[in-house]
Amino acid sequence: MPNYISTGIPGVDELLEGRGIPEGHIVFLLGSPGSGKTTFALQMLYKGATEYNEPGVFITLDESPRRILDNASSFTWNLRELKDEGKILFIDASPIKGLKGLGTSQDKNIAIGKKDFSLDTLVDMIETSVKEIGAKRLVVDPLASLMLEYPKVVDRRKAILELMEAISRTNCTALLVSELAHASLERKYQIEEYLAQGVMVLQRVVRSEGLNRIFQVEKMRGINHDSELHPYKINKDGINIFARERIV
């Protein structure tokens, strides 16, 4: 029997056979801007650290950890305290973006045999930080900004697989946050969705009745999950998925 990692987000475990995410899975959390991806990821680390004694690492690629903590201060979570206690480690990986640019296009000599600096550095950061606090949960937010460095699908696929292999070696259960390329209920699947063991989607959809926030577990290997569309709300305690309500 595999172990399961409770997301700690009201409603989500209910959609996952009442268990949670199979331990060690790498799950993509896709969503439109402002849909609550960062909130979801922080909430999962917060619950892990406070309720399950599972330390977590949050790797941020866009905003500084300080910005993330400032933005999250409207929630009822004591993230700064957990950070000081070493239960959640925030890692600023934003400087690595663009490292790949070293000699990629113009300077052919450097480009030959060049290593993929930004991905290697990210992998190092993940390994070191997970070891440092004995993390069981890992978030990378947002992956999209690193993936922009791989315009070709074939390169992107390779980079994602390399990253996933590195994360697998840590035995952490991971959330990789990414932007949804097409914000609509009818959309094309992205490469991430084929490669991941799990995919959860947060969307803001404008409909005739007004703005709807919609959550879906699109994929979760190893579990007979619910894949219906469910409404969700964000309040001072974070995200709340209404597992018993459906959007049709």
Ligand X SMILES: Nc1ncnc2c1ncn2[C@@H]1O[C@H](COP(=O)(O)OP(=O)(O)O)[C@@H](O)[C@H]1O
198 binds, among ligand X, Mg ion, none (CB under 5 to 8 A by kind): none
Task: Find tokens 């199979």 and name the residue.
Answer: 22
Helices (H), 108-204: 108-111, 117-133, 144-147, 153-170, 191-195
One residue of 4, 28, 58, 75 binding ligand X per CB under 6 A: 75
Q: Does 31 bind ligand X (CB under 6 A)?
A: yes
98 binds, among ligand X, Mg ion, none (CB under 5 to 8 A by kind): none
Binding-residue pattern over the window 1 to 40 for Mg ion, x denoting contact by CB under 5 A? ------------------------------------xx--
Query: Quick check: 87 and 55 in contact, CB under 8 A?
Result: yes
One residue of 38, 43, 197, 203 binding ligand X per CB under 6 A: 38
Tokens representing 243? 């597992």
Minimum distance from CB of 103 to Mg ion (Å)?
Answer: 31
One residue of 6, 7, 39, 216 binding ligand X per CB under 6 A: 39
Residue 4 or 46 with smaller CB distance to ligand X? 46
SS3 (DSSP) at 41:
helix
Binding-residue pattern over the window 37 to 76 for Mg ion, x denoting contact by CB under 5 A? xx--------------------------------------
Residue 22 or 238 with smaller CB distance to Mg ion? 238
Query: Quick check: 17 and 185 in contact, CB under 8 A?
Result: no
Q: Does 36 bind ligand X (CB under 6 A)?
A: yes
Q: Does 237 bind ligand X (CB under 6 A)?
A: no
Residue 122 or 180 with smaller CB distance to ligand X? 180
Strand partners, 164: none
DSSP annotation string for 57-114: EEEESSS-HHHHHHHGGGSS--HHHHHHTTSEEEEE-GGGTTGGGTTSSS-HHHHTT-
Query: Quick check: 6 and 39 in contact, CB under 8 A?
Result: no
Distance CA(228)–CA(146), nearest Å, equals 30
Sole window of 34-42, 101-109, 146-154, 185-193 interacting with ligand X (rule: CB under 6 A): 34-42
Residue 37 or 137 with smaller CB distance to Mg ion? 37
Distance CA(243)–CA(231), nearest Å, equals 8
Tokens representing 67? 């910005």
Q: Does 139 bind ligand X (CB under 6 A)?
A: no
Residues of the shown chain interacting with Mg ion in the complex, contacts defined by CB under 5 A:
37-38
Residues of the shown chain interacting with ligand X in the complex, contacts defined by CB under 6 A:
31, 33-39, 74-75, 234-236
